[in-house]
Homo-oligomer: A and B are copies of this chain.
Amino acid sequence: MNSNANPQVRGGCARRGGARVSSVSVDTTAPGAYTIGECARRSGFSMDTLRYYERLGLIDDVARTPTGQRRFSDEHLEWLGVLKCLRDTGMPVEQMCRFADLARSGDHTIGERIALLEDHRVAVDERMADLVAKRDYLLGKIDYYRSVLP
């Protein structure tokens, strides 16, 4: 169901990667033009979450068909991969928004973006270290229980 493998996805919405196809139907196989359902399937976010993120400004420039349906591009999927990484490593949405803002603001924010990601990496490392310690404790507990099994 890579979506609309058909002659007219309904207008284009063309989006960026847009194929350099000739005539009518454009983004059939072209990179991009994923419906929200397809995008959800591919990104691992739910459709609701995608809409929610768009409202928050975490996702930008989502194209629309003439009838108002969203069409996500491969760039979006890539960006969603970044968001997923950040979210799944525990970054709060608010900080993701800051990052998205920076990403939107041009190359002069790259330094800030690095700083933000570095800070986050440090936090992740700490969480991982803590997790390792707690996991060991857990193993100890399990071993103990094994040792007293009837």
- Chain A residues close to B by CB (< 8 Å): 82, 85-86, 88-89, 107-108, 110-111, 113-114, 117-118, 120-121, 124-125, 127-128, 130-132, 134-135, 137-139, 141-142, 145-146, 148-150
CA distance A138 to B134 in the complex (A): 24
Contact of A125 among B127, B135, B145 (CB under 8 A): B135
B138 & A117 in contact (Cβ 8 Å cutoff): yes
CA distance A148 to B108 in the complex (A): 11
Least distance between A78 CB and chain B CB atoms (Å): 11
CA distance A142 to B128 in the complex (A): 18
B142 & A114 in contact (Cβ 8 Å cutoff): yes
A89 & B125 in contact (Cβ 8 Å cutoff): no
Sorted from nearest, which 5 A-B pairs have the closest CB atoms?
A: A114-B145, A85-B134, A89-B134, A85-B137, A117-B142
Question: Knowing A131-B131, A132-B128 touch, does A150 contact B110 (C-beta < 8 A)?
Answer: yes
Contact of A121 among B113, B130, B138 (CB under 8 A): B138
Chain B residue contacts of A146, Cβ below 8 A: 114
Which residue of chain B has the shortest Cβ distance to A86 in the bound complex?
A: B138
A107 & B138 in contact (Cβ 8 Å cutoff): no
Beyond A114-B142, A117-B145, A131-B131, 10 additional contacts (C-beta under 8 Å) are A82-B141, A107-B148, A110-B148, A110-B150, A113-B145, A114-B146, A117-B142, A118-B142, A121-B139, A128-B135
